[in-house]
């Protein structure tokens, strides 16, 4: 997830200073490793847990745009796409773009796009996004971005696996985006080049879905664009999960331990769903709250509680099926004119 985008574009240094502050706080806390002995034998979850750990390994070096670690992450995700039987679009899974961050030199980013054709409304598309990029190495410090956002990419691959079990109603476009952290560059590039914008009915965005262990809450934003989400929350919250699905994050809130008004999360613009929202497309954005390891070197997979992650994935799969079961007329009614 990217912090206040205005801060990024105009005051890049303020983020670096703030990261250093958070790191100093976090590095004094003792590490408590997650209990990994309670893993379920649910095959899809076991695969997702492994995907998360691989993507958050030191070898991936934080998966920053244009880095060697990013290339390794791309190769890993694309091998998964092929194994899961996703179809390339226009002959390739990889869609490159120029990542022209205002204060840095232009880099080449790559979105990873794979399709599963639907069986009821194949011409209409649900776009599932999760960014795989995170932050560059700083000195010897690697920002592994386990929650942000190896977790979301593992969730995207989890849904891709689920979509192979039973043909979905709508075509599902899986887009692992690059360049999210510095201003949603990947999602912008994807959307500007996507030839069938009118056929996109919904965006499901996964960004930071694994670190809700303290509150046992998973947040879902987007109800202003998709009021039927209230029905989904009721369905999930009466289904016996110990994790609660909370409809929230539809406006700005202060960052945890914020010291200035700049340090806030502008949730409607905080991640890739913003591009779809501005295009007038309803969205579902699943995520946890910010936490002390957010954008620090301590966002490691060992801090993730597998039981929370497993329930979050099961809830997200329920939400994905709920979205896929909506009649086309519902989405046609929800579509709005583009706005800011």
Binding residues for Zn ion, rule: CB under 5 A, are: 1, 148
In angstroms and rounded to an integer, the radius of gyration of the C-alpha atoms of the chain is 18
CB of 164 to Zn ion, least distance (A): 29
DSSP 218: E
Q: Which is nearer to Zn ion, 118 or 152 (CB)?
A: 152
CB of 1 to Zn ion, least distance (A): 4
CB of 270 to Zn ion, least distance (A): 9
Peptide bond connecting 149 to the previous residue in cis, omega within 30 degrees of 0: yes
Instruction: Give me the sign of the Cα torsion angle 248, 48, 202, 120.
Output: negative
How far apart, in Å, do the first and last CA atoms of the chain sit? 19
CB of 56 to Zn ion, least distance (A): 13
Query: How far apart (Å, rounded) are the C-alpha atoms in residues 19 and 31?
Result: 19
Q: Which is nearer to Zn ion, 135 or 157 (CB)?
A: 135
Q: Which is nearer to Zn ion, 148 or 178 (CB)?
A: 148
State both tokens at 8.
């990024």
Q: Which is nearer to Zn ion, 203 or 293 (CB)?
A: 293
CB of 146 to Zn ion, least distance (A): 11
Q: Which is nearer to Zn ion, 67 or 171 (CB)?
A: 67
Q: % helix / strand / coil in the chain, to the nearest 5?
A: 40, 20, 40
State both tokens at 182.
């510095």
Read off φ and ψ for residue 283, nearest 5 degrees.
-140, 155
CA distances (Å), origin 287, targets 121, 250, 278: 28, 12, 19
CB of 294 to Zn ion, least distance (A): 7
Q: Which is nearer to Zn ion, 223 or 295 (CB)?
A: 295
CB of 336 to Zn ion, least distance (A): 27
Q: Which is nearer to Zn ion, 212 or 282 (CB)?
A: 212
CB 286, CB 18: distance < 8 Å: no
State both tokens at 158.
């989890």
């Amino acid at each position: 997830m990217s912090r206040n985008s205005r801060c990024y574009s105009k005051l890049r240094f303020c983020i670096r200073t703030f990261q250093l502050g958070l790191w100093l706080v976090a590095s004094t806390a003792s590490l408590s490793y997650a209990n990994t002995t309670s893993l379920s034998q649910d095959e899809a979850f076991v695969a997702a847990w492994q995907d998360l750990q691989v993507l958050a390994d030191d070898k991936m070096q934080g998966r920053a745009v244009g880095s060697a670690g990013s290339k390794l992450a791309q190769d890993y995700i694309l091998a998964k796409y092929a194994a899961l039987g996703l179809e390339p679009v226009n002959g390739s899974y990889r869609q490159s773009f120029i990542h022209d961050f205002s204060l840095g030199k232009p880099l080449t980013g790559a979105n990873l796009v794979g399709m599963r054709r639907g069986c009821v409304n194949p011409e209409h598309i649900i776009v599932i996004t999760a960014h795989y990029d995170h932050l560059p190495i700083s000195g010897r410090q690697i920002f592994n971005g386990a929650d942000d956002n190896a977790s979301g990419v593992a969730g995207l691959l989890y849904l891709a696996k689920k979509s192979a079990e039973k043909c979905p109603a709508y075509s599902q476009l899986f887009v692992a985006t690059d360049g999210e952290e510095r201003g949603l560059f990947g999602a912008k590039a994807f959307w500007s080049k996507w030839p069938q914008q009118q056929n996109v009915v919904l965006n499901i965005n996964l960004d930071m879905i694994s670190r809700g262990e303290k509150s046992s809450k998973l947040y879902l934003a987007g109800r202003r664009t998709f009021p039927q989400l209230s029905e989904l929350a009721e369905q999930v919250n009466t289904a016996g999960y110990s994790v609660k699905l909370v409809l929230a994050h539809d406006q700005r809130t202060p960052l945890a331990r914020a010291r200035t008004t700049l340090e806030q999360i502008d949730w409607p613009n905080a991640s890739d769903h913003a591009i779809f929202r501005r295009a007038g497309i309803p969205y579902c954005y699943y995520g946890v709250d910010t936490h002390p390891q957010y954008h620090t070197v301590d966002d490691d997979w060992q801090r993730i509680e597998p039981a929370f992650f497993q329930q979050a994935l099961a809830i997200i799969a329920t939400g994905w099926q709920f979205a896929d079961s909506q009649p086309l007329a519902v989405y046609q009614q929800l579509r709005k004119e583009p706005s800011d």
